[in-house]
Amino acid sequence: MSIQRNVKPEDLFTLKSVTDPQLSSNGRDCVFVETVMIEEKNTYSSQLFYLNVEEKNQPVQLTFGDNRNHSPRWSPDGNTIAFISDRADGKSQIFILSMSGGEARKITNARNGAANPVWSPDGTTIAFNVSLKNGESLEADGEKEREEEKKNPIPIEIEKMKHKSDAHGFWDGKYQQIAIVHVETHKAELLTLGTYDYQLQSWSPDGKYIAAGADLSENKDFSFQNDVYLIDPKSKEMKNITIGKGSFGYATWSPDSKHIGLLGQTREYENATLAKIWIYNLEKEELTCLTADWDVLVGDYVVADFQQGVTTPGILWGEDNNSFYFLATDHGNTVLYYGTLDGAMYPALLEPQQHIYGVSTGGTLDRAVIALSKPTQPGDLFLLNVITGEKEQLTNVNDAFLKEAVLADAEPFQFKSSDDWDIHGWMMKPANYVEGEKYPLVVEIHGGPHAMYANTYFHEFQSLAAEGYAVLFINPRGSHGYGQAFVDAVRGDYGGKDYEDIMEAVDYALSAYSFIDEERLGVTGGSYGGFMTNWMIGHTDRFKAAVTQRSISNWISFYGVSDIGYYFTEWQIKSDLNDIEKLWKHSPLAYVDAMDTPLLILHSEKDFRCPIEQAEQLFIALKHRKKETKFIRFPEANHELSRSGKPNLRISRLHYIINWFKDYLN
């Protein structure tokens, strides 16, 4: 018998991420994406794989190389796959691959790349998104175009408040447009124009309309709605079907093209509002919320650090034009639900521990291919018989890793807060736990704050458990998954009851788990979790070490420097620059004199969500007061470092966290 080893940060180079399963309309053929890190090139590679869910054979690799190949979509007849690849010139373009054999064929030459392929119902054309400046031509001009891209840098002229984003950097004057390409001739044309962004969503089965999301408000700096439009691909005329009610998207069509399913919310609680299911009846021209009285969040809002390229499916219609499936975030799980136009809603698959992060039905009601993860299962595909509830595993992409590595499971618990709220969390024992031994504890705090820790694989947690730490993680008020009142409770109260929830969870853990050494407590978190880490060490000395990541320390400066600052601050702190006193009251920096816990500060240079000046202020204030602290800056990284950053930096980050706790908790 071979001796199992502990997990280490570098296992990220070994692990494979399986996402975006797409089941063909025949209910048999499935294609999916497998993503790995390439250590030698310090990058990611994504490839397409095929499997027959009935024969349950070994997956067959369809694409090769070190490129990114993703977003596979079946043609209506199930004979061809359209996908996105950067294999040609480094720009993402649409390729099509015949399942009868042969090489993949590039069919777009979009100037700035193509994304999000959507087949027409007759299979002759493909709609896609493209990024263009106003008046810019769709296709590139070859060598001349490449020379233009090498020109000297120019100043950036800024006239709008929404001029940068953490995902895309500074706005470069481009708008998301929708185009159509003919599969045989490769002739492409723009469907939308102008100075607005359009997000392509779906094509009606009868071919009459393309559904797209857009915000056509005049003052987009102060608009946070997103409407769904029906675009006639022939006349290019558009019709707004949500008429400014809130933020809507993920439009999918019933097979008879009479109904459109939407995910959306009307922003009663700003960004804390639960997404619900809406149905638009084309004959009646009527929009109805099916889950208005249902206190459950529709969609997958789990926070984790492993999967790459996860997609949101929206609602998946069945062949009866009345039934559908969808995902919902609920009490630490994501659940596959069955629903009908009459408003029936019940779980199609509910297990004690499950994070379903992908699902495809091929338009049938009796089966689904799901992507499933658990605390000790990084993620694989399963075939679900919806009628019987039985599921069969289709892939074993991390089998070798699971056989040789010791993984720590997560034990769920629930307790009552001091004001009688139910608080849900997990305790992860050290990987090589020995009964009777005492272990240090690391408390992990998620970002958002409107997100949810869940029954899913988390490499950071496993790496800490492998080093002999118990890991405590909970969903304090403000988290998704526990109803509208729970998620809204944090707004205007950052550092209040949310802080008490976490501290009471620590007290609960100390009373319930005798193996925890109360003299060796650590805390860490990122984004909102970084804010809370800063806040905690300014309000208690119980922790012997802390690591704050991509954090907020000063709400006053955050208001103007973050890509979301001026509105996020008003939504979450419920204050603006007219009330500096309140902003400062909720700023961890205001309590720096009380921070005596050794603090490691991790921050990315290109983080536009929580800009690095937040870390700089905290570091200088601590050092000026001769506090124990260290500041690590990650070049060429943004707010997503821990999830999708450069591989070497992700590994380095984990080592910094582990080593800091080793220095102060061991």
Q: Quick one: which of 107, 111, 94 has its CA closest to 145?
A: 111
* CA neighbours closer than 13 Å in the CB half-sphere of residue 91: 18
User: Using CA of residue 305, residue 308, residue 309, residue 315, what is the dihedral sign?
Assistant: negative
DSSP 666: -
Beta-carbon contacts of 436 under 8 Å, excluding residues fewer than 6 positions away, are 515
Instruction: Choose among 214, 141, 149: nearest CA to 178.
Output: 214
Enumerate residues 6+ apart whose C-beta is below 8 A from 611.
Answer: 558, 561, 562
Task: Report long-range pairs for 167-171 (Cβ below 8 Å, ≥24 apart).
Answer: 167/638, 167/640, 169/606, 169/608
Sequence-distant (6+) residues with CB within 8 A of 97 are: 48, 62, 63, 80, 81, 83, 103, 104, 105
- Per-residue burial over 158-170, b if 16 or more Cβ lie within 10 Å, else e, is eeeeeebebeeee
Q: What is the token pair recorded at 207?
A: 């071919």
Asked if 588 and 573 count as a contact pair (C-beta separation under 8 A), the reply is no
In whole angstroms, give the CA distance from residue 132 to residue 138. 7
The whole-angstrom separation of Cα 72 and Cα 82 is 6
Give every CB contact of residue 263 below 8 A, 6+ residues apart in sequence: 248, 249, 250, 275, 276, 277, 278, 298, 299, 312, 314, 315, 326
8 Å CB contact between 339 and 386: no
Radius of gyration of the chain (CA): 25
Report residue 473: phi and psi, to 5°. Answer: -140, 135
What is the distance between the terminal CA atoms of the chain, rounded to a whole angstrom? 31
The amino acid that residue 474 corresponds to is I
The H-assigned helical ranges of 405-482 are 459-466
CB 501 within 8 A of CB 417: yes
List C-alpha distances in Å: 98 to 52, 82, 103, 115.
16, 9, 8, 20
CA 33 to chain centre: 16
Q: How far apart are CA 8 and CA 16, in angstroms?
A: 15
The separation between CA 423 and the C-alpha centre of its own chain, rounded to angstroms, equals 23
Q: How many separate helices (H) and strands (E) can be counted in the chain?
A: 12, 41
Query: Does the N-terminal peptide bond of residue 153 adopt cis geometry, omega within 30 degrees of 0?
Result: no
> Which residues are the active-site residues?
527, 639
CA distance 1 to 46: 34
